[in-house]
Amino acid sequence: MTKLGRTALRYAKMLRWPIVPLHWVDDAGHCSCGDPACRAAGKHPLIADWPRRATNDPATLARWWQKWPLANLGVALGDGHVVLDVDPRHGGDEALADLEATHEPLPPTPTVLTGGGGTHYHFAAPPDTPTVTLAPGLELKAAGAQVVLPPSRSAAGLYQWDAGAHVADLPLAPLPDWLLALAHQVRRSPGQRSTELPPVITEGARNRWLASLAGTLRRRGCSEAEILACLRILNVSRCQPPLDERELAKIARSIARYAPACPPDAPAPRSRRRIIHLGVIHAE
């Protein structure tokens, strides 16, 4: 068995963590999913329904890594195990430094360096801890999320336990109270709405998301044909299952009835923008 497979078994045995096999990258950095433009190369699950199928059963893990010897390792979070994900490319390191200055420094806890400059702090937390974006580049990942584990490799490099903060040497620290309180506060705050597209848009949310995107494109002056072309791409890459072509055409057509609110030389009046945004939200 490969080192990845052996390590999966070790995490399962030592920590009882539910492990998920992830796609991997080749030497050129291409994701094994085959999508040349994959946005999560080597970081997304190989199996469908992974939150339910993630396991610490040695026989299942052995079978998976025999089938996919190069598969990267992920751990399904929740159930008392959370990760603070710091992405410095989006300012997460500064946001965390500000929070630590206001509250207190994070306690020593198992820590992964992601190879791309990011850091994952693994913590123990109550089971109802929410998955939330605390600040740009700073996310608390819990139930419904997974993170990549060492010794996986993505296009950006090798995932490694930080020296002195290896999970074999250090127990998970409890998530600091101030961080837990902040997570619940952000979750409750009605003004908090992520503008980021979720990686997977499921039935029930597809129409709303695509209509909202179409509205954004229209505000920037896109034509019906341009909007429809974008919707087709996003429909295939994000929607599970994809919406049918007639629905896409309907969204593009209804959004394009509105005048582009932002011609190159003049910003739209606020009321117009709101109409476009709210105008075409179909119920699924």
Please give the residue ranges that form the binding site for Zn ion (CB under 5 A).
Answer: 23, 31, 33, 38
CB 136 to Zn ion: min, Å: 24
Nearer to Zn ion (CB atom), residue 23 or residue 218: 23
Nearer to Zn ion (CB atom), residue 23 or residue 206: 23
Q: Is 122 exposed, middle or buried (0-12, 13-18, 19+ CB in 10 A)?
A: buried
CB 25 to Zn ion: min, Å: 8
Q: Is 60 exposed, middle or buried (0-12, 13-18, 19+ CB in 10 A)?
A: middle
Distance CA 194, CA 133 (A): 8
CB 227 to Zn ion: min, Å: 26
Nearest partner of 231 among 280, 283, 171, 170, judged by Cα: 280
Bond into 260 cis (ω within 30)? no
Nearer to Zn ion (CB atom), residue 69 or residue 126: 69
Given a contact cutoff of 8 angstroms between Cβ atoms, the answer to whether 164 and 109 are in contact is no
Nearer to Zn ion (CB atom), residue 129 or residue 235: 235
Given a contact cutoff of 8 angstroms between Cβ atoms, the answer to whether 180 and 129 are in contact is yes
CB 40 to Zn ion: min, Å: 6
